[in-house]
Amino acid sequence: MPLHEYIKKRDLKVSPEPLHKKKSKSPKKTSPLMFVVQEHHASHLHYDFRLELNGVLKSWAIPKGISLDPKVKRLAVEVEDHPLSYGHFEGVIPQGQYGAGTVRIWDTGTWEPVGSARQGLKKGHLEFKLRGKKLFGSWVLIKTQRAAGKKSQWLLIKKSDEYARPHEISKSA
């Protein structure tokens, strides 16, 4: 039940957030995988980074947003899987609801794992390429030893390539 935690945290009768039941997909699905970054003005502004995998969106909350500087490691706290339909969601989560505040799509496009995504997630070292409107090129998510409560902490890092911007402080605004 990959979306159990997503459903448990929300009152989807009150919140406009989507829930589309996972459709049974051909395991041979060849269409590109989606990614999305959502700017989420909740109690603290953060950026939700989501990668489509196995019929859900694997999700991380990035408090400081995404940096194009390969020297900058941005904390990315792993959060619950989200339904694929969440990748198109923009709107206002009502006060009193989980994650109350405005959600806007900051960037979206397709992604491609380098090697096996499943193994990358398991071993805590996931390399991938993004093709978005703002974000391109090679990236890596590296799991750290620390955990925030029971949530795993990762670092999102831009790899050096022609899309890196070594001296930029932040691309989060």
104: closest CA among 93, 115, 114, 96?
93
Sign of the Cα torsion 173, 163, 68, 88 reads: positive
Number of continuous H segments (helices) and E segments (strands) in the chain: 2, 9
Residue 40 amino acid letter: H
Applying CB under 5 A, which part among 28-36, 44-52, 82-90, 105-113 lies near Mn ion? Answer: 44-52
Instruction: Check binding of 48 to Mn ion (CB under 5 A).
Output: yes
The total number of residues shown for the chain amounts to: 173
Applying CB under 5 A, which part among 16-24, 46-54, 80-88, 119-127 lies near Mn ion? Answer: 46-54
SS3 (DSSP) at 43: coil
Residue 40 or 129 with smaller CB distance to Mn ion:
40
Residue 48 or 69 with smaller CB distance to Mn ion:
48
Instruction: Check binding of 40 to Mn ion (CB under 5 A).
Output: yes
Applying CB under 5 A, which part among 47-55, 105-113, 133-141, 162-170 lies near Mn ion? Answer: 47-55
Chain residues binding Mn ion by CB under 5 A are: 40, 48
